[in-house]
């Protein structure tokens, strides 16, 4: 009876590990999706409405996921207080649940915020296109990744159960 209970706990742990790994991947995918939408909207807003940056960042962050909202709120707060927008953008980008390459590309876009309208729009457009490609690649490979994670977690749990029996 004790071995059966232990086996069930180990399999439950494997299930929990799988769930947490998959949720991290989904969170990254959701963040990328929201960021690409926000950055596209940001480019259009800069070109057409010429909204002040703090107001624009506040508006972009509303109604989004917690990570994206925190990203835009942090940058808007620093800019509103007269701080360096590029530094705030870089710091906020470091907190996002993205892969290193996507995080670095997004962080570099902050350098463009102090320039003229054309350079800001061009920099944001380049970042948006990179993040869109990354998003499409992650969506394509999502099923395969989740299958691998499932196989890994349940194989490890089953191996532990076998070793303990």
pLDDT tens-digit map of 90-138: 999 999 999 999 999 998 888 877 777 788 888 889 999 999 999 999 9
* Mean pLDDT in residue range 35-56: 86
* DSSP assignment string, 86-100: HHHHHHHHHTSS--H
Return d(Cα 153, Cα 118) in angstroms, integer: 49
Return d(Cα 11, Cα 134) in angstroms, integer: 33
Residue with tokens 């057409």: 48
DSSP code for 82: T
* Mean pLDDT in residue range 23-31: 92
Return d(Cα 67, Cα 133) in angstroms, integer: 20
Cα atoms in the Cβ-side hemisphere of radius 13 Å centred on 36: 17
Position 139 scores a pLDDT of 93
pLDDT band for position 74 (cuts 50, 70, 90): very high
Count of residues in the chain: 165
Write the pLDDT tens digit of every residue in 128-150: 999 999 999 999 999 999 999 99
DSSP code for 115: S
Name the CA dihedral angle for 78, 84, 86, 92, rounded to a multiple of 10 degrees.
-30
């Amino acid at each position: 009876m004790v071995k059966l209970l232990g086996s069930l706990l180990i399999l439950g742990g494997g299930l929990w590990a799988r769930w947490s790994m998959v949720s991290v991947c989904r969170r990254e995918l959701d963040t990328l999706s929201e960021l690409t939408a926000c950055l596209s909207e940001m480019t259009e807003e800069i070109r057409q409405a010429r909204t002040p940056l703090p107001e624009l960042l506040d508006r972009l962050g509303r109604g989004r996921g917690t990570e994206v909202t925190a990203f835009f709120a942090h940058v808007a707060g620093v800019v509103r207080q007269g701080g360096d927008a590029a530094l705030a953008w870089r710091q906020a980008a470091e907190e996002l649940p993205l892969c290193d390459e996507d995080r670095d590309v997004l962080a570099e876009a902050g350098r463009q915020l102090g320039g003229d309208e054309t350079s800001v729009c061009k920099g944001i457009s380049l970042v948006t296109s990179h993040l869109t490609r990354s998003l499409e690649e992650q969506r394509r490979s999502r099923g395969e990744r989740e299958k691998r994670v499932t196989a890994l977690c349940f194989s490890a749990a089953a191996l532990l159960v076998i070793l303990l029996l």
